[in-house]
A = this chain, B = another copy of it.
Amino acid sequence: MSKGTVVLAYSGGLDTSCILVWLKEQGYDVIAYLANIGQDEDFDAARKKAERLGAKKVFIEDLRAEFVEEFIWPSVQASAIYEDRYLLGTSIARPCIARRQVQIAQKECAQFVSHGATGKGNDQIRFELTCYALYPDVKVTPWSMDANLMHISHAPSDLYLMTKNPEQSPNTPDMLEMEFKSGKPIKVSHVTDGTTKDTPLEIFLYLNEVGGKHGVGRIDIVENRFIGMKSRGIYETPGGTILHHAHLDIEAFTMDREVRRIKQGLGIKFSELLYNGFWYSPECEYVRHCIAKSQENVEGKVQLSVFKGNVNILGRESPKSLYNEELVSMDVQGEYNPCDASGFIRINAVRCILRFNFVLSYRLRLPRCKGSV
């Protein structure tokens, strides 16, 4: 008599294979679910392995396009970056993977979901918060301690899979032109060889390829995890890094200064929510709406070069530019002159004068000049 059905986020690796077997032994029916979010994986071999280990069904789901469009693009719009350095690649993937997992669980009338994320990692939180938010009645099954111990035995031999070492990368740059509309990439062109990509998935794969070739987007950081301790993280985000720089540039070119300041604060909030697993929270939904609104005029083209780990902005153009020289000279010029600046300065200085005049008078007791003035 089955205890019920579990949808297991299956990777094909040792950890989740152990969990699959262990769940069977505990008396559960297991549906193996493997998400394709662009990782380098033999999906057919994984399917066969899951079936051999006793999975009742196996779902292999290509989530790449929805991952790019629904999760990466909003993060690019937000200039999402955690603690000033981490572009949040891993964090973004979790809600995308878990969302499909609960959709399968609901369709298959499974009461349980399971995953291989360890207790101390952020990934447990990101996974489980998404599951509870979207399918409140779901139960998350406990995971095997053995699997966790095995997990620890993995050597970090797979460091830097996507990017070349800049010391070995090509000695000539690639020049790209990125085109944005509403703050989202809509096209990338290689300036020299004419390669052009214009669907979200193709654009992102191509930027990963070019960025990876030139060693772009490697970082080695200590980060503050949600549960309170610090951990070291080594990440590579080649395409995301190119997009981050290109988007920052076109945004600065087309967005009002003060709107940008407010949006910057919202982007920091968004990054924390994303890192901490709160994609499917009321506040993250709200922040995404506000950020998307700010992007309405973020439109235009950015020219850049990619070389030896660097993304260098070379220029930008936009029909929505607030840097439109003709407009500035035609309509504004007449209203502005150097005297305005002086008035502006004097008004702003009032508070400072009050403050430092106190200091001068009462603390430093500087002599005031005497004489003809």
| Complex: chain B residue closest to A313, CB-CB | B220
* Min CB–CB distance A308 → chain B (angstroms): 4
Closest to A133 in B: B352
Residue A36 at the chain B interface, CB threshold 8 Å: no
- When C-beta atoms are compared, the residue in chain B nearest to A248 turns out to be B84
B281/A345 in contact, CB under 8 A: no
Question: Which residues does chain B contribute within 8 Å of A370, judged by CB atoms?
Answer: 109
The answer to whether B222 touches A106, judged by C-beta atoms less than 8 angstroms apart, is: no
| Minimum distance in angstroms from A293 CB to a CB of chain B | 6
Check B371–A282 contact: CB distance below 8 A: no
Q: In this complex, what residue of B is CB-closest to A289?
A: B293
Whether A129 and B345, one on each chain, are in contact in the complex, defined by CB atoms closer than 8 angstroms, is: yes
Which interface residue of A167, A218, A315, A370 has the most chain B CB atoms within 10 A? A167
**Pairwise interchain contact A351-B129, C-beta atoms closer than 8 A:** no
Besides A228-B354, A262-B286, A289-B290, 6 more A-B contacts (Cβ < 8 Å) are A125-B341, A125-B348, A227-B341, A258-B281, A259-B286, A340-B346
* Residues of chain A from 214 to 267 with CB closer than 8 A to chain B in the complex: 218-224, 227-232, 248-249, 252-253, 256-266
Could you tell me which A residues sit within 8 Å of B by CB distance?
A: 4, 79, 83-85, 106, 109, 111, 118-120, 124-125, 128-129, 132-134, 136-137, 140, 143, 166-167, 171, 173, 218-224, 227-232, 248-249, 252-253, 256-266, 268-269, 272, 278, 280-283, 285-287, 289-290, 293-294, 307-310, 312-316, 321-323, 327-328, 331-332, 335-357, 360, 366, 368-373
Known contacts being A136-B357, A309-B309, is A349 close to B323, with CB within 8 Å? Answer: no
**B248 & A351 in contact (Cβ 8 Å cutoff):** no
User: Which one, B227, B309, B356, contacts A347 given CB within 8 A?
Assistant: B227
Q: Which 7 A-B pairs have the closest CB atoms?
A: A343-B343, A119-B338, A224-B257, A228-B350, A340-B343, A133-B352, A258-B283
13 A-B contacts (beta carbon < 8 Å): A4-B373, A106-B369, A120-B338, A140-B342, A220-B313, A222-B316, A222-B323, A227-B347, A229-B351, A230-B253, A256-B283, A282-B352, A339-B339
Q: Nearest CB to that of A335 among chain B residues? A: B346
B257–A262 contact, CB under 8 A?
Answer: no
With a cutoff of 8 Å between Cβ atoms, the chain B residues found around residue A321 in the complex are 230
Are A310 and B308 interface neighbours, CB within 8 A?
yes
Q: Is B308 a contact partner of A132 (Cβ separation < 8 A)?
A: no
Q: Which residues of B are found within 8 Å of A118, using beta-carbon distances?
A: 338
Q: Which of B257, B260, B278, B313 contacts A221 (CB 8 A)?
A: B313
- Docked Cα-Cα span, A129 to B349, in Å, equals 6
B residues in contact with A272, CB < 8 Å? 261
| Contact B281–A355 (Cβ < 8 Å) | yes
Residues of B within 8 A of A85 (CB): 248, 252
In the complex, what residue of chain B is closest to A122 when comparing beta carbons?
B341
CB atoms of B332 and A133 under 8 A apart: no
Q: Is the CB of B340 within 8 A of A353?
A: no
From residue A116, how far is it (CB to closest CB) to chain B in Å? 13
Across the interface, do B332 and A166 meet the contact criterion of CB distance under 8 Å?
no
Residue of B nearest to A349 (CB): B132
CA distance A134 to B346 in the complex (A): 13
Given A252-B83, A353-B335, answer yes or no on A322-B111 (Cβ-Cβ < 8 Å): no
Asked whether, in the complex, the Cβ of A342 is within 8 Å of the Cβ of B345, the reply is no
Cross-chain contact B307 with A166 (CB below 8 angstroms): yes
Across the interface, do A133 and B248 meet the contact criterion of CB distance under 8 Å? no
Across-interface contacts of A289 in B (CB, < 8 A): 290, 293
Q: How far is the CA of A368 from the CA of B309 in the complex (A)?
A: 50
A177 to chain B, nearest CB (A): 15
